Amino acid sequence: MKLPLGYLAPGIGLVLFACSSAPSTQSAASNAATPAAQAPAPVVSGPAQVGANAAAAYASASAKYAIPPARNAPNRPKWIDLQHPFQIQNGFAVAMGYATTQATDEGYIIAANIAKDAMCVSIEQRFDLAFQDSEEGSSVDHKQLKEISADACKAAADAAKQGKRYWEKVATTANNGDRIIVYRVFVNVVIPEDKFKKLVCRAVKNQEGKGSIPKDYTKMFRKERWPLFARGD
């Protein structure tokens, strides 16, 4: 399932783009230590930083410097997949986000929260798909779907841990004509798949016996619906 990584304000002209494995030059590899002056601040977790708040934070911080990343940058780590910002594979649920800012510490926080937002969007879409393909859940109304998705989103956002990170230094021209340096920052957040599955199923169980969700529905969801939810197609 492909999701857009939106929230990009109108961009400004790109003058120079370069990549290197050395943090002191034009880029920093995933999990590489950043210079002391740019040490990343702790990633803020929790539902208050997800969704509309994350989008607003990104728009506010990067409106002046939003430069959409090239889809095929040869030196970029393979874990950066702009076409699939949320995936469940190799035993983990992984979400990716990016931001363009003038400081890497700010960028890490914003990008991590954008990644959590991508996770939440995908959770709701996957629930919708799983319920549509289920006879028992075919009549789940929109409100109940939202409640289940929000419950799973909150739990997943709290449980997600920052994984890999990477930044690219970009020289560009601001609207006022000044030459500036900005950082295009990428971050992923991860949850072990088993834990993510438990959080998703718990959100379903919390709605058992309410509305159109019958009792003991979670057992069927875990056995029959989870594969479809995990694939996301």
- Residues, the chain: 233
What is the SS3 assignment for 172? strand
Q: Render pLDDT for 62-93 as a digit per residue (tens, 0 to 9).
A: 444 445 566 657 788 989 988 899 999 899 99
Residue 134: what pLDDT? 55
**In the chain, alpha helices (H):** 52-62, 104-132, 142-159, 193-205, 217-220, 226-231
Of 16-25, 42-51, 197-206, 224-233, where does the model show the most confidence? 197-206
User: Does residue 126 register a pLDDT over 90?
Assistant: yes
User: Does residue 47 register a pLDDT over 80?
Assistant: no
Residue 50: what pLDDT? 42
User: Does residue 193 register a pLDDT over 80?
Assistant: yes
Q: Which of 194, 50, 195 is nearest to 121 (CA)?
A: 50
Q: Render pLDDT for 209-228 as a digit per residue (tens, 0 to 9).
A: 888 888 888 999 999 889 98
Of 21-25, 47-51, 170-174, 221-225, where does the model show the most confidence? 221-225
Q: Which of 128, 171, 151 is nearest to 13 (CA)?
A: 171
User: Does residue 118 register a pLDDT over 80?
Assistant: yes
Mean pLDDT of 15-44: 35
* Residue 23, number of CB atoms within 10 A of its CB: 17
The whole-chain average pLDDT of the chain stands at 73
User: Does residue 191 register a pLDDT over 80?
Assistant: yes
Residue 69: what pLDDT? 62
Give CA–CA dist 62/76, Å, rounded. 21
Asked whether the beta carbons of 59 and 9 are under 8 A apart, the reply is yes
Residue 130: what pLDDT? 86
Residue 148: what pLDDT? 94
Q: Please list, in sequence order, all residues whose beta carbon lies within 8 angstroms of the beta carbon of residue 200, skipping any fewer than 6 positions away.
A: 123, 152, 156, 226, 229
| DSSP secondary structure of 34-73 | PPGGGPPPPPP-SGGGSTHHHHHHHHHHHTTT--PPPS--
